[in-house]
Structure 1
Amino acid sequence: MRVAHVMAGAPQGGAEAFFERLVVAQHRAGLAVQAVIRREAGRAARLAAGGVPPIELGFGGPLDLLTAGRLRRALAAFRPDVVVAWMNRAAGFARAATGARAPWALAGRLGGQYRLRHYAGCDLLAANTHGLVAWIAAQGWPEARLRHVPNFAADLAAASPAPLPFPPGAVPLLAMGRLHPNKDFPTLLRALARLPTEVHLALAGDGPDRLALEAQARALGLGGRVAFLGWRQDVGALLAASRMLVVPSRIEPLGNVVLEGFSAARAVVATAADGPREVIRHGETGLLVPIGEAPAMADCIAALLAAPDRAAALAAAGRAEFLAHHAEAPVLAAWDRFLADAAARRGTG
């Protein structure tokens, strides 16, 4: 099987991080893989280090008249069986590069409720949650051309703890993600303000809300109890240094960070957004709280901190869930089936 993955996403993000993990893992598993990405030095370096030096193209806006032709020539040179387009921009360029007579199948990979018009011409779609599969089908996409293909997280259980800028005796919580309204870190800060002063928060990520969140932390009197770490690649080390992972999102189609928390055997407290609600079995593999409710979040965190045996049981169950459904091996097998199915459906889109 020869597969080309096309990604024109942002420098950081959950889908982008999973794209990198999948491409490198498929290469290690023996597939002939070509990555085509929007120019981004960090992603290119990580892919090259994993054995998949990418082709970098512009993937610009409506006035970009060069990328489609360059992509077509790159794909023709590689001769893939399947081209997988990740998210809307890549799907549009991949469709233009494929045309009606291309010898490869065109598949789309969706991690959210994207506009399906971008995927016209795709022979098969992959969605990473059952809820998203149901939503796509409800928009009129034929169920015969739609598959559930989950994400996997890296196995982080053996990571050594990262140093955190907190005083001795601090109880560190961890949250990760883009500092954006969808992630609702303001609710987490309000929850932290209701917890004992020895409880601290490490917030790994960056984005447009950073200045507002820093101002909110000061206004709440949190001072040195919150560390804004910026984007980090050492996710396993951060989880190893933390007592639990908190995911406060208002909108979260999947929540790769939940899978990372499971992988690292950390207790997870998350809001009941679509993705966490699908992945977490409340009271078994983690805890779910109502979206946007700081008092409920604080009470849940406090209860787990006061019951370390229960937190350890949740962490162990989350780890077992990871190994069964969200580790590399079972997800690569699901991708193998998806790619074979897509190749067999070439030209049906």
Structure 2
Amino acid sequence: MLPGRFWTEKLKSSEPDLEALGCMADREVMSVSSQPSPVAPSSPSGRKARVAHVMAGSARGGAELFFERLSMAQTADQRPVRALIRHDAGREGRLRAANVETHTFRFGGMLDVGTKPRLQKSLLEFQPDVVVAWMSRAARKLPSGPWRTAGRLGGYYDLSNYRRCEHLIGNTRGLADWMKTQGWPVDRVHYVPNFATDFASVQSVRPEFLPSGAPFVLALGRLHENKAFDVLIRAMTRLPGVHLVIGGEGPERAALEDLIRKEGLSDRVHLPGWVADSGPWLKACDVMVCPSRIEPLGNVVIEGLSAGVPVVGSAIQGPQEILAGTQDGLLAPVEDADAFASQIGAILDDAALAGRLRLNGRTRFEREFAESVVMAKWSEFLDGGLS
């Protein structure tokens, strides 16, 4: 952990000691403003700040998905936006279809010397007021220029990768608080959550492979050990007659299929792959569950609140913050299949409890995670430094 005084002094220097920051792979000198960029409720100039979003992430992932959603929403809101992304035909196509000005780059490793000058050329051409780097690789490639810089984090990453960023944005309060404990200047740390699609008007549709009338639990996410779907599968052995649908794909598919067979659950646990449109299934399910071992935020939890369905999450990081203890959803200890089964069963057996969680969860979504609320927070940050 970098001491706060040391880190603050380095931010105030126009030519920081990269060796002291442990930046052995990249010797380029950065420049940061000597004073914190102001952040105010609105733009005194009356115009919207021009923003360049830089994303070098993978084809799928929570941060990547929200990057696309935000870029599209800001473009639709008449904000000048340029998306600078790693080569990805699918992402490029989706962004261009939404009229987001999009440019692609290699974003390779240490031997990639071409991406950074191309980024700088694109940025100088676009003349952004703010450049937002999404995750570590993009932050490491940020060129200096006459713009404010921000790193947007969705996890507890090594902050030395963000040395070119004046500001940091965390998508949970816990993450923002952690950034401050790592020595980042308090007035340069900002909490701006993710928004999710509003499923209020979506019609519920049950998966066609489920028997009529059978209660079903829905989980969504990459089939990865961090998501702990194995724990949820074991919980299903304590819930006779209940079906589980896990929408997602990933490296743990074979292991999960073996576990399903071993537990004798082949007729009640279903792995249909990625779900292109999760809204109808979310609206139709009896309970949405996020059993993750690691989950800094939990976009699927927010989607569950949006759909107005009862949510059970693991008692860690993001889900615990989003569900506000037991007010907006229920929590279970990580790895505890019995506890997950108990919480799911409580919702299925108690209509009053289920109704309360539906109402509280939807209210929480509208108050903190609706698109209009989050867009206003982004505007407050982006436009506040204009004069």
TM bucket, shorter chain: over 0.9
**Farther off after superposition, 165-174 or 27-36:** 165-174
Corresponding letter in the other structure for 1:6? V
Show the 5 A alignment for 1:92-171: 92-94=140-142, 98-99=143-144, 102-164=145-207, 165-171=209-215
State the shift of 1:162 in Å.
3.8
Q: Which residue of 1 aligns with 2:350?
A: 307
SS at match of 1:54: strand
SS of 2:111's equivalent in the other structure is coil
1:257 and 2:321 are equivalent in the alignment: no
Shift of 1:340: 3.0
The count of aligned residue pairs is 338
> What is the deviation of 1:243?
1.2
Maintained 8 Å contact 1:123/1:342: no
TM-score of the superposed pair, with normalisation by structure 2: 0.85
Q: 1:209 aligns with which of 249, 252, 257?
A: 252
Q: Deviations over 1:213-249 (max 9, x none)?
A: 1111111111131221222230212202211100001
**Counterpart secondary structure, 1:224:** coil
Q: Look up the equivalent residue of 2:295 and give its one-letter code.
A: E
For 1:257 and 1:234, locate their aligned partners in 2 and report how far apart those are by CA, in whole Å.
13
Distance 1:163 1:303, change over 3 A: closer
Extract unaligned runs of 5+ from structure 1.
345-349
Q: Do the aligned residues in 2 keep the contact of 1:87 with 1:108 (CA within 8 Å)?
A: yes
Maintained 8 Å contact 1:153/1:328: yes
> Could you tell me which of 83, 89, 92 is aligned with 2:137?
89
| 2:117 maps to which of 46, 64, 69 | 69
Q: Secondary structure at the match of 2:141?
A: helix
Q: 1: distance between equivalents of 2:203 and 2:276?
A: 14
Q: 2:63 aligns with which of 15, 24, 28?
A: 15
Alignment partner of 2:95 out of 44, 47, 71: 47
Deviation at 1:69, TM superposition (A): 1.6
Judged with a 3 Å threshold, the aligned counterparts in structure 2 of structure 1 residues 215 and 53 are, in CA distance, closer, same or farther, namely farther
Give me the whole-angstrom Cα distance separating, in 1, the residues matched to 2:147 and 2:60: 29
The answer to whether the 8 Å contact 2:227/2:293 transfers is yes
How far apart are residue 53 of structure 1 and its match? 4.1
Who is 1:347 aligned against? none
In the aligned structure 1, how far is the partner of 2:138 from the partner of 2:53?
9
Question: Counterparts in 2 of 1:271-290, with a 5 A limit?
Answer: 271-290=314-333
Determine the structure 2 residue equivalent to 1:235.
278
Offset at 1:281? 2.3
| Cα gap change, 1:335 to 1:118, in 2 (>3 Å) | same
Q: Higher helix fraction: Structure 1 or Structure 2?
A: 1
Deviates more, 1:23-32 or 1:279-288: 279-288
Kept after mapping to 2: 8 A contact 1:34/1:78? yes
1:173 matched to 2:213? The reply is no
Report the 3-state secondary structure (helix = DSSP H, G, I; strand = E; otherwise coil) of the residue aligned with 1:303.
helix
Q: Which runs of 5+ in 2 are unaligned?
A: 1-48
What is the CA-CA distance between 1:343 and the residue it aligns to? 6.1
- Aligned-residue offset at 1:259: 0.6
Residues 1:136 and 1:33: Cα distance change in structure 2 (over 3 Å): same
Q: Which residue of 1 aligns with 2:289?
A: 246
State the percentage of identical aligned residues: 49
Q: Show structure 1 runs of 4+ deviating over 4 A.
A: 341-344
Change (3 A) 1:220 1:34: same
Partner in structure 1 of residue 54 of structure 2: 6
- Are 1:104 and 1:343, in contact at CA under 8 Å, matched by a contact in 2? no
Picking from 215, 235, 259, the partner of 1:191 is 235
| Preserved CA contact (<8 Å) 1:239 1:264 | yes
